[in-house]
């Protein structure tokens, strides 16, 4: 029996086989078994072990691309979102976990003390800690911690969230962005779902699952915000092999509003 990595339920079933897609891009014919939790409705992989070979194979240099105009708009929206939660702060200590090429950190104004972590060094700017987040020593506490499409890349999200909590100051806030397992793109796209990203995404959570795991790790004031246009074309690519695309494409903006493909979760220590 395969256990859900989020709600820990053993009431799970095999859902379908996926392949090595990154977004719309086909990277390999390997097959990966996707299971569905019948309790929280999340999707997850099993039997994927991380190692240097895993990261070298599935996270090549081409995995991170230079930001386009949509990415820059996304960073701008996020910047506004963070700042409104710290309106009276003259300085905000900010840690971006899984910071990649530092795009988000670059977009933040000077009142932010900018720190990041990543498995590989992709930027020389800011204060970046390199290595497995669970293993690296970060001798500082933060007002704000961000995980933008990072948590689903981890095999033990409870452990990640507990460590992040130790790095937050009292009443510090964590911002987590993840794909949504209950989205229209997932329900129709199945193995072509834009945010499935096997085998890099160990799971795709439902809103219930992400709330449960934050409650399990003793976070407070959990707020889930539906995100509709973080990836403007994710639904487009998810349904490309379904005959329903002929209904969805002409009314695309409406379906995007009806179906939040991603979620932003904000919680407090």
CA distances to 50, 131, 187, 188 from 237, rounded to whole Å, are 28, 32, 13, 11
Cα separation, 179 vs 267, whole angstroms = 17
pLDDT classification of 95: cutoffs 50, 70, 90: very high
Query: For all residues of the chain together, what is the average pLDDT?
Result: 89
pLDDT classification of 201: cutoffs 50, 70, 90: very high
Sorted by where each starts, the structural domains of the chain and their CATH numbers stand as 67-268 (3.40.50.150)
Of 268 and 120, the structure prediction assigns the larger pLDDT to 268
Cα separation, 207 vs 203, whole angstroms = 13
pLDDT classification of 217: cutoffs 50, 70, 90: very high
pLDDT of residue 53 exceeding 90, the answer is no
- Of 194, 145, 151, which is closest to residue 26 (Cα–Cα)? 194
Convert the pLDDT of each residue in 98-149 to its tens digit: 988 888 888 888 889 999 998 887 777 888 999 889 999 999 999 999 999 9
Q: What percent of the chain has pLDDT over 90?
A: 64
Convert the pLDDT of each residue in 154-189 to its tens digit: 989 999 999 999 999 999 999 999 999 999 999 999
Cα separation, 97 vs 261, whole angstroms = 21
Most confident of 16-30, 77-91, 113-127, 196-210: 196-210
The half-sphere exposure of 182 on its side-chain side, counting CA atoms within 13 A, is 15
Convert the pLDDT of each residue in 24-42 to its tens digit: 888 888 999 999 999 999 9
Query: How many Cβ atoms sit within 10 Å of the Cβ of residue 243?
Result: 8
Query: How many Cβ atoms sit within 10 Å of the Cβ of residue 63?
Result: 15
Angle, in degrees to the nearest 10, between helices 207-216 and 157-166: 50
pLDDT of residue 87 exceeding 80, the answer is no
Report residue 23: phi and psi, to 5°. 65, -120
Kindly state the tokens that stand for 80: 């506004």
Q: Residue 199: what pLDDT?
A: 95
Overall average pLDDT of the 59-70 stretch: 63
- Backbone dihedral region of 19: left (phi > 0), alpha (psi from -120 to 50 degrees) or beta? beta
């Amino acid at each position: 029996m395969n256990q859900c990595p989020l709600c820990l339920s053993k009431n799970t079933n095999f859902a379908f086989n996926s392949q090595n897609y990154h977004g719309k891009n086909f990277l390999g014919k390997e097959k990966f078994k996707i299971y569905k939790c019948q309790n929280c409705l999340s999707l997850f992989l099993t039997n994927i072990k991380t190692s240097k070979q895993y990261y070298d194979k599935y996270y090549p240099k081409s995995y991170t691309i230079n930001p386009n105009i949509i990415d820059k708009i996304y960073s701008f929206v996020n910047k506004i979102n963070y700042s409104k939660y710290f309106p009276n702060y003259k300085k905000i200590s900010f840690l971006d976990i899984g910071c990649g090429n530092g795009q988000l950190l670059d977009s933040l104004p000077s009142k932010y003390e900018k720190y990041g972590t990543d498995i590989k060094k992709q930027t020389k700017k800011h204060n970046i800690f390199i290595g497995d987040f669970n293993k690296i020593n970060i001798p500082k506490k933060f007002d704000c911690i961000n995980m933008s499409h990072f948590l689903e890349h981890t095999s033990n999200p409870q452990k990640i969230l507990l460590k992040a909590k130790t790095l937050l100051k009292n009443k510090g806030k964590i911002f987590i962005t993840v794909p949504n397992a209950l989205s229209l793109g997932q329900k129709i796209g199945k193995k072509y779902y834009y945010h499935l990203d096997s085998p890099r995404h160990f799971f795709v959570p439902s809103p219930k699952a992400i709330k449960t795991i934050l409650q399990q790790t003793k976070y407070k004031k959990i707020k889930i915000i539906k995100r509709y246009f973080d990836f403007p074309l994710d639904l487009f690519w998810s349904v490309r092999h379904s005959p329903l695309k002929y209904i969805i494409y002409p009314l695309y903006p409406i379906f995007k509003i009806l179906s939040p493909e991603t979620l932003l979760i904000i919680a407090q220590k």
